[in-house]
Amino acid sequence: MTTLRISDADVTATRAGVLIVGVNKQGSLQIVSGALPAAVRKAIASDLEKVACDGEPGGLWRIPAPGSVAADSVIAVATPAKPDAEQLRKVAGAGVRAAGGSKSVVLALPTPNEATLAAVCEGALLGAHVPLRVSAKPSKGAVGTLIVATTAPRAVRSAVKRNAVADVTATNLARDLVNQPPVTLTPVAFASTAKKTLKGSQAKVTVWDADRLVKEGMGGMVGVGQGSANPPRLIVLEYAPKDAKKHLALVGKGITFDSGGLSLKPPKAMETMKCDMAGAAAVLAAVTTIAELGLPVHVTGYLACAENMPGGHAQRPGDVITMRNEKTVEVLNTDAEGRLVMADALALAGESQPDIIIDVATLTGAQMIALGNQVAAVMSNDPQLADTVKAAGESVGEPFWPMPLPESLKASLKSPLADLKNIGDQYGGMLTAGLFLQEFVPGDIAWAHLDIAGPAFNEAGPHGFTPKGGTGFAARTLVQLARELGR
């Protein structure tokens, strides 16, 4: 378990395995740090030049520490001359990842204000996380202690530490859930994990089994889950402090494995489909953290968990199912299953008339085509809420981009047989998925749909504070939104 210290002590005298600094080349090589004396910065820069450090973006260099520094070695990470919070978050994460299993790491990066201090702490903690690995060989140990240098007042340091540790703990919980093999994280196992995670907290957990899902008219969840030997579960999380100012409903897609059902995916596309429950993981992590922090906001989480398999009882293209809000849906593609479980959960969430509903899902490959694999989409019936989500994400290093819900695409969801069909136009698939979900949200409730298909799982390899595999994306944004609602 990595511990965090935020200190105003002399960095050069701080014993540590590694000292992390920023480096930039503007004519000559410069060390980007406000915590090191000029002579020490000059000595480190001189040693870096000997190993052909050029300060180019993305670069990272490790050298023995100069004699005037108590640390054993120095890791220099390419850093802009005047870095912003997000750049510092990535630099800190990359540096700590490179430090491997060092017992202690001290970070001497610029922290001129609370936002940059928080970013360095978050990035360092995120970079220290060791991804889940199922192996007979022991995993590489995490960094023991992180020491972030700053001149910030003690009260600021205390608040930053509390929030950073809480937010990163949420992200790492979501990461570990996403990385679980689907053979062990079935819908039933997800429910058990939720109960274990929230045991002793201020939040309670209620689980709807397959029989209750039928009784409650959750046709989408029943239909998606009926092809699997592992039955579906709806997991309801409730945190309701007496001083709550607003009620926030969070809905997470929890497809623990997505084969595509009878509309079977190609083998290569199935390899990472354990990540199709990343939305539910983010919601569980966020509710856990919100309860731990004691934020004054009523939060209800709905984790719509099912396994989409092509068993003998699987739903067929052409089937018509009746949803929680009694709308009927013609299922034309069983691989468009996420919107079906989410629709039921959204309809249920709307019945309690919360102030805001936010759903989180790895919903469409179209999201990645539009925005790549590091920026998520936000669609909303309230432009101000979309802007709020975008700002909350930016503040914690999770970028979102607002996308439209065009009226012109609604006609493509009409079915000659039922109220709706589960797929629309081939083009604009991310948008038609959002329009489908909107049909299950009461029109008088502010709602935002977060499609995190790209950022939820990193196949490209580690970068910045992001590991390979599950990223925990959206968990920190949800916590930040709850903070803002509670103010």
pLDDT at 362 over 80: yes
pLDDT at 139 over 80: no
Annotated catalytic, 339?
A: yes
457, 275 contact by CB (below 8 A): yes
Q: How confident is the model at residue 418 (pLDDT cuts 50, 70, 90)?
A: very high
Confidence at residue 389, expressed as pLDDT on a 0 to 100 scale: 98
Identify the active-site residue in 265, 327, 410, 468: 265
Residues β-bridged to residue 248: 299, 356
- Does the domain formed by 3-149 have CATH 3.40.50.920? no
Structure tokens at 221: 């969840």
pLDDT digits (tens, 9 = 90+) for 77-106: 999 999 999 999 999 999 999 998 799 999
pTM: 0.96
Confidence at residue 101, expressed as pLDDT on a 0 to 100 scale: 79
Q: How far apart are CA 208 and CA 404, in angstroms?
A: 34
10 Å CB burial of residue 426 (0-12, 13-18, 19+) is: exposed
Distances (CA, A) of 143 to 30, 93, 150, 365: 27, 12, 20, 35
- pLDDT mean over 150-169: 96
Cα angle for residues 87, 92, 98 (degrees, 5° grid): 125
Percent of the chain with pLDDT over 90: 93
Q: Which residue has the tokens 């008088």?
A: 444
pLDDT at 138 over 90: no
pLDDT at 264 over 90: yes
Mean pLDDT (the chain, rounded): 96
pLDDT at 27 over 90: no
Identify the active-site residue in 41, 253, 339, 476: 339
Confidence at residue 133, expressed as pLDDT on a 0 to 100 scale: 81
- pLDDT mean over 240-260: 97
10 Å CB burial of residue 78 (0-12, 13-18, 19+) is: buried
Residues β-bridged to residue 376: 400
Q: How confident is the model at residue 131 (pLDDT cuts 50, 70, 90)?
A: confident
Query: For the chain, what are the domain ranges?
Result: 3-149, 172-485
pLDDT at 34 over 80: no
Confidence at residue 229, expressed as pLDDT on a 0 to 100 scale: 98
Annotated catalytic, 137?
A: no
pLDDT digits (tens, 9 = 90+) for 288-343: 999 999 999 999 999 999 999 999 999 999 999 999 999 999 999 999 999 999 99
* Helix residue spans in 69-186 (DSSP H): 85-98, 114-128, 154-179
Class of the domain covering 172-485: alpha beta
Q: How far apart are CA 150 and CA 153, in angstroms?
A: 9
Least confident window among 136-145, 171-180, 249-258: 136-145
pLDDT at 140 over 80: no
Confidence at residue 132, expressed as pLDDT on a 0 to 100 scale: 84
